[in-house]
Amino acid sequence: MLGITMKIIKTKKWLAMMLLIGTLSACDSFLNEPLERAVVVDDGTSSIDMQGLIIGAYARFYDFGWEVYPLIAVRGDDVNAAGDQAPLTETDEFKYSNSTWMPNSVWQGLYSDLIIFNDMIEDIAFLNQSAANPAIGERYIAEIKVMRAFELLQIARLWGNVLVPNVTNMAEIVNVPVSSYEEVMQHISAQMDEAVPALPNLRPNQRTDIVGGITKHAALAIKAWANIEIKNWSEAAEATGEIISSNMFTLSNNYYDLFKIPGKLDNENILELQYSDFGQGSGAQSSYLYAFFGPNAWTPAVAGSGGGWGFWEPTQKYIKFMLDRGEEERLTTNVLFTLNGMSLIEADPNYDPLPAFISNTTPDGDVIGNANGDPEARAQFSSGKHYTPSNQLTTGRTDYGTNNNFRCIRYAHVLLMHAEALVMSSGSSTLTADAAVNLVRNRAGLPSITGVDIQDVLDEKYAELAMEWGTRFEDLVRHNRTSELNDSRRTYTDADRFLPYPQAQVDILPLLKAAQANN
């Protein structure tokens, strides 16, 4: 009896916490937008409590620390850390420190999420024992498993051999052993196999209970990603093939809009973090900190719209790569140019003059950089993938990127993982490597190619997925092409593959300390 009482208290604790953070407050305000009209119906059983928990889980998942993504994505040859954020610049240059705030903050934030997700799964499993329809609780558990797997995937991509916690209390993590990188990826793959049968066979934008919520295809994509990381090509091909053969996803016919407000919940998006200003010009909002990526100087088309911080700069190498390929739509979408940045490219006689389609004015009329063309204080270029035009902001809102979702996994990524798995192993009855690559190329206005090999796949991933989730860095490391990461600032060695464990964590986790000593 005591165990049951304690579990009820534990569940009420989560509901109280969610009320405090506003997850269930103001009746429908949170439900109507960030979870896109999530339906919560009290049927007289425990389902209302379980629905409160799943909504709380999504709230936690969407509350993704802003520093997580930059730390994951900064080490490739597609982006530079700009500005004065020293921990990020040092990471970009492979000058890792175990004592700076950013890696420790990322570690703490992601592991806190995992423990909370474990606790929520346990609570839902308990409540599901008395549910009128246990399949609902099983689906909620599967959705949280996907959230947990996505975050564990990012932890492992940063630190390699890491903890796979099965505990529900942060204090218990001291007893969790360290698993190898391959073991972690195999664990993620197995977890996604468990989750798939309970998840909706829909696109996220087809869900009516939680529109934009997790479906089986997110689980399959994460499974594929984990298997790609450890070169388990057949598993990756099978998982991506299942997504492709569902015929539910298509590439957007407007690459430029895909990353902006019109691209929220597009048919291409398999997993995205959702945010909203509730259609109101002031008051409560949920948002991702897009300002990190935005230009620190601009003249917006809508006067008064705020700029960014200038910490995220596409590389000149990437820009020249795209120019050499004759790219227009993807280049002008992915890179925001300043006048000074354009001059830097034209300083190379091979790129002077630049094509007429390169401009410091976006199609939506925002002018990037200082009005007089002076050199920027931070970045000469900014990421167009993290750019929301000022004329798309809700009237009254001025923060950079407000109301835009954050893309995690797109169908284009799935197609290119499929192609990579095929050229590294065997064929597929679902889609050939040529066909998968050409779908992505043709959307970008490029002609089809035949006889696709790994170089073609890596080039296409570079063009399509630049500045997204550190894909480029992982691709080059996985295929032993790390010399492409070298430049005047840095030289990659095998020791640069993973970050050192944060010293603050080593000091309190004996098993982590032992693993560090053995490396």
Q: How far apart are CA 505 and CA 104, in angstroms?
A: 8
Going by C-alpha positions, the residue among 460, 456, 454 that lies closest to residue 322 is 460
pLDDT of residue 22: 35
Q: How far apart are CA 72 and CA 103, in angstroms?
A: 10
Strands (E), 185-321: 269-273, 298-299, 312-314
| Length reported for the chain | 519
Contact indicator for 185, 217 with CB cutoff of 8 Å? no
Q: How far apart are CA 248 and CA 267, in angstroms?
A: 8
Within 8 A by CB and 6+ apart from 140, the residues are 50, 51, 53, 54, 57, 124
Going by C-alpha positions, the residue among 66, 64, 62 that lies closest to residue 34 is 62
Contact indicator for 158, 498 with CB cutoff of 8 Å? yes
Q: What share of the chain is helix, strand, coil (3-state, %, to 5)?
A: 50, 5, 40
Task: Output the furthest CA–CA distance in the chain (Å, rounded).
Answer: 79
Burial of 299 (0-12, 13-18, 19+ CB in 10 A): middle
- Mode of pairing for the β-strands spanning 269-273 and 406-410: antiparallel
pLDDT of residue 429: 75
Within 8 A by CB and 6+ apart from 201, the residues are 215, 216, 246
Alpha carbon distances (Å) from 92 to 75, 88, 315, 378? 5, 6, 12, 16
pLDDT of residue 370: 87
Q: Any bridge partners for residue 163, and if so which?
A: 178
For the chain, residues with pLDDT lower than 50 are 1-45
Tokens of 155: 């932890």
Q: How far apart are CA 318 and CA 468, in angstroms?
A: 13
pLDDT of residue 373: 67
Three-state secondary-structure class, residue 286: strand
Contact indicator for 238, 431 with CB cutoff of 8 Å? no
